[in-house]
Amino acid sequence: MASSFAPPPSRKGRGATANLESRFSAWHRESDETRHESDMAQECEVKFVTQVAVENARTIISRNTSPDIPFDRSINPYRGCEHGCTYCFARPTHAYLGLSPGLDFETRLYAKLNAAERLDAELRKRGYQPSLLALGANTDPYQPIEREYRITRSILEVLERFGHPVGITTKSALVTRDIDILSRMAERGLARVFISVGTLDAKIARKMEPRANTPARRIEAIRRLTAAGIPTGVIVAPIVPALTDFDIERVLSTAAEAGATYAAYVMLRLPLEVHDIFVAWLEEHYPLRARHVISLIEQVRDGKHNSSEFGTRMKGTGLHAQLIRQRFHLAARKLGLNQARPPLRNDQFKVPAPDHPQSAHRSRHAPRADSQMPRTEKSRTDDAAADANPQMRLF
């Protein structure tokens, strides 16, 4: 899938303001201002339509050895994410595909249609030991195209059949579609869901997460999940100093009222290309506040704009980070959050008889031909390990 280029002005419904070069790019691209002015005169706008390529994954379970996250394996059904969150730490992974972490990340997506088939095969391997498997560690498993492709649901069907524990992190209310599976798994101690809500301010969320569900819909998802008996928590993420940090207590109290029993938070991180994407977005939408936001980011990152050290990368350091930590824990304690968190069970794992044809996973959950043809093109095969970058903490 070839990368494209957009002039600097932001695109409606997209998070990144441009298609900046990746750290691997051998070429430097500049906007053709003459063409841009001509397009403006003719009221012509370059539109970025979402395109989905089918990927035939060789492996599906990604492994990690990070000491500051509570899981060592994860599955990412998709590469790229249509939510378009400006701060998404997964954006740099698109550079490995020769694409831009900017608009390409939001519009050039890859769907692993054989994910359930590969998962079934990997869980059947001799010597496999079950442990918490994270969905949503990199890109969102319930991003908009999941409504059509249903890959995440097919993965849950396999995990339920094997009795394998799963933890889900998402900012989409689409997770409630799978309440039937998740409630059965929760009864067996096999499922837990975290909903990411960085702010309840719909205007900020709309600009920062243009194609994600509104905060109100995410809170309603918490309500529906807990009503179905599924252990559910809220992640206040990311906390952006001087932009969303005012909302910490309100997010926690609203989520607790909806039934959330767990809570966590993640400080804004700006690794690699994410830095330039976020700063450009900040200056575009909040020009009078940008300098103050960047100043506070430097205060929680030891004078830098990002830090990748294990143990501090999620929370930050310094006085401002300490104040946010105290505010979060005080509010969580008052609301009765994080009082108990029993681990998910591994003793339910059992390899079933292979009486389900694996090819059925692909055909049953692939999109209809009439909806697939305009949006999908053939893609090369890539190893699932290439997108193992689980920096969003599943608590």
pLDDT in tens, 4-36: 444 444 466 786 766 676 666 666 666 566 655
Once rounded to an integer, what is the mean pLDDT over residues 42-67? 84
pLDDT for res 208: 96
pLDDT for res 391: 37
pLDDT for res 93: 92
Rg (CA), the chain: 21
Structure confidence at residue 356 as a pLDDT band (50, 70, 90): low
pLDDT for res 368: 45
Residue 289 has pLDDT above 70, yes or no: yes
Compute how many other C-beta atoms are within 10 angstroms of the C-beta atom of residue 364: 12
Structure confidence at residue 154 as a pLDDT band (50, 70, 90): very high
Compute how many other C-beta atoms are within 10 angstroms of the C-beta atom of residue 130: 20
Once rounded to an integer, what is the mean pLDDT over residues 43-63? 84
Q: In this structure, is the dihedral angle defined by the CA atoms of residues 364, 370, 375 and 377, taken in order, positive or negative? A: positive
Top mean-pLDDT range of 63-67, 101-105, 263-267: 263-267
pLDDT for res 311: 84
Residue 394 has pLDDT above 60, yes or no: no
Which pTM value belongs to this model? 0.83
- Residue bearing the bigger pLDDT, 293 or 389: 293
Tokens 């997770």 found at: 175
pLDDT for res 19: 67
pLDDT for res 355: 65
Are 317 and 238 within 8 A, CB to CB?
no
Question: What percent of the chain shows pLDDT beyond 70?
Answer: 79
Once rounded to an integer, what is the mean pLDDT over residues 315-337? 97
- CATH code, 51-335: 3.80.30.30
Annotate 152-171 with b (16+ C-beta within 10 A) or e (fewer): bbbbbbbbbebbbbbbbbbb
Residue 84 to residue 4: CA distance in whole angstroms = 16
pLDDT for res 308: 85
Residue 158 to residue 166: CA distance in whole angstroms = 11
Are 165 and 130 within 8 A, CB to CB?
yes
pLDDT for res 189: 97
pLDDT for res 67: 86
- Nearest Cα neighbor of 273 from 2, 23, 1, 15 is 23
pLDDT per residue as tens digits for the range 55-75? 999 999 999 988 888 899 999
CA distances from 327 to 205, 245, 252 (A): 21, 10, 11
Are 385 and 60 within 8 A, CB to CB?
no
Q: Order of strands, edge to edge, in the sheet holding 191-196?
A: 62-63, 73-75, 133-135, 166-170, 191-196, 232-239, 262-267
Residue 307 to residue 310: CA distance in whole angstroms = 9
Q: Which amino acid, one-letter code, is at 201? A: D
Residue 262 to residue 254: CA distance in whole angstroms = 13
Q: β-pairing, 62-63 with 73-75?
A: antiparallel
Tokens 């599976």 found at: 181
**CA angle (180 as vertex; 236, 76 as ends), nearest 5:** 50
Once rounded to an integer, what is the mean pLDDT over residues 368-380? 40
Once rounded to an integer, what is the mean pLDDT over residues 253-267? 97
- Residue bearing the bigger pLDDT, 280 or 390: 280
CA atoms within 13 A on the CB side of 337: 28
DSSP code, position 384: G
Q: Which residues contact 287 (CB under 8 A, 6 or more apart)?
A: none
